[in-house]
Amino acid sequence: MGGMRRAVDLGVKQGVVKPVLKTPEEGKKMSNALDDKLEENAQGGNKAAAALLVKRRGRKKTILTSATGLKDDDSKIKKQTLLGG
């Protein structure tokens, strides 16, 4: 078992594959660049790019964590009760 992860780990160990570690700022910059390119292609009439852009937009609103932890430090996790407490 292990699949692709095992193969990548073996490649890293042997020096064939170099792991790419990105900071959150680099990831955000890359994501914004991808969104801009998808927007450009969607306006050009590419239906696949438009669909992918819609899917990415919907998923961004539900992601609450980043590589460094919670986005909002004031976030409280609280179990809701049926009585509104």
Q: What are phi and psi of 5, to 5 degrees?
A: -60, -40
Question: Which residues constitute the domain of residue 26?
Answer: 21-63
- Whether the predicted pLDDT of 73 surpasses 60: no
Mean pLDDT, residues 71-75 taken together: 56
The answer as to whether 6 is a domain residue is no
In a domain, 77, yes or no: no
- Provide the CA 15 distance to its chain's centre, in angstroms: 27
Assess if residue 47 is contained within a domain: yes
> What pLDDT shows up at residue 10?
83
Position 65 scores a pLDDT of 63
Q: How many domains does the chain have?
A: 1
Establish if 28 belongs to a structural domain: yes
- Confirm whether 69 is domain-assigned: no
CA dist list (Å): 1 to 6, 31, 57, 85: 8, 32, 34, 45
Q: What is the pTM of this model?
A: 0.45
What pLDDT digit, counting tens, does each position of 16-71 carry? 877 776 787 888 888 888 888 888 988 998 898 888 888 877 666 666 666 666 55
* Predicted confidence (pLDDT) at residue 85 exceeds the cutoff of 70: no
